[in-house]
Amino acid sequence: MVPMITLNDQSTLPQLGFGTALIPLDQTADVVGQALQAGYRHIDTGQLYGNEQGVGTAIAASGIPREELYVTSKLSTGDHRPDDVRRSFDKTLERLGLDRLDFFLIHWPLPTRYDGDYVSTWKAVTDLVADGRLRTAGVSNFEPAHLDRVIADTGLVPAVNQIEAHPYFANDTVREASRRHGIAVEAWGPLGQGAVLGNELLGKIAAAHGKTISQVTLRWHIQRGDVVFPKTTSRKRMEENLDLFGFSLSAEEVEAINSLDQGEAGRRGPHPDTFDYVP
């Protein structure tokens, strides 16, 4: 049974979900359909992934009651201007076949674009909540200074901050800054996008539990209190990644995994202060 996390707006979210980045577009409906059959109820997508339509097809075909599903999408880096936020959000709802979205996040802060103004973008995303078309507004890849600024300027605290985190890049400074504001942390690339799967120490801990490295790594995230949504196109791995709740890591094992942190050298994605890709 996947635990539910309660957020600062009193909404809830399953702590384990399914990621959809880089699933080939022509396979998205099938892969997400399989994930829903396997038992996932929280799906993470984004406008930049180009696969919202496939996610929508899978949701419609699943027959799962809408209130049991938790769907996240993220604002394209090309749509930060407030009018574009509203327009592109409408298109997201249309592609997903939903009349209300559960979570919508600013995908990247882009401090070097749009005159450094991610505050009016944040305000526009929160307006969608006021409109009733979005349940929960959040951010992604926000560094502590970005969080401080949107909160100071609007008084509106994001419910989640989705950031890169895994054993090679624990990202604890941003995790702790988020928590201090009462913001839940979502760890993207929880398996280091596959990089941690050959690690010897993780292999030893996995063998001691009769589990796989993926399961031990995801369990570590769960015990740190973060939300995770590993991506896989394999049905067998979907089931493996869901099976995290019949064992637990000792405090010593958690500490040992913490020691794999390489700081900046372990980062896989771009740094949010300089990332400026716009499609």
- Block residue for tokens 């979907």: 238
102 interacts with ligand NAP by CB under 6 A: no
Q: Which of 20, 76, 171, 199 binds ligand NAP (CB under 6 A)?
A: 20
Task: Give which of 48, 90, 7, 46 is closest to 229, Cα–Cα.
Answer: 46
Total of chain residues touching ligand NAP, rule CB under 6 A = 28
- Smallest gap, in angstroms, from Cβ of residue 239 to ligand NAP? 9
Of the candidate spans 18-26, 90-98, 120-128, 252-260, the one that interacts with ligand NAP by CB under 6 A turns out to be 18-26
Task: Give which of 279, 277, 211 is closest to 248, Cα–Cα.
Answer: 211
- Smallest gap, in angstroms, from Cβ of residue 213 to ligand NAP? 7
The whole-angstrom separation of Cα 121 and Cα 113 is 12
Residue nearest to ligand NAP (CB): 19
The whole-angstrom separation of Cα 74 and Cα 93 is 12
The whole-angstrom separation of Cα 75 and Cα 85 is 7
51 interacts with ligand NAP by CB under 6 A: no
DSSP lists the bridge partners of residue 13 as 5
Contact 184, 4 (CB under 8 A): no
- Smallest gap, in angstroms, from Cβ of residue 132 to ligand NAP? 25
* Pairing verdict, β 12-14 and 4-6: antiparallel
Amino acid at 221: H
Would residue 49 show up in a list of annotated catalytic residues for this protein? yes
3 state SS of 69:
coil
DSSP 8-state class, residue 183:
P
Dihedral sign computed on CA atoms, order 160, 164, 166, 171: negative
Q: Which of 188, 211, 222, 257 binds ligand NAP (CB under 6 A)?
A: 188
233 interacts with ligand NAP by CB under 6 A: yes
19 interacts with ligand NAP by CB under 6 A: yes
Of the candidate spans 14-22, 88-96, 144-152, 258-266, the one that interacts with ligand NAP by CB under 6 A turns out to be 14-22
52 interacts with ligand NAP by CB under 6 A: no
Of the candidate spans 96-104, 118-126, 226-234, 252-260, the one that interacts with ligand NAP by CB under 6 A turns out to be 226-234
Active site residues: 49
Residues forming contacts to ligand NAP in the complex (CB under 6 A) are 19-21, 44, 107, 140-141, 162, 188-194, 197, 212, 214, 229-234, 237, 240-241, 269
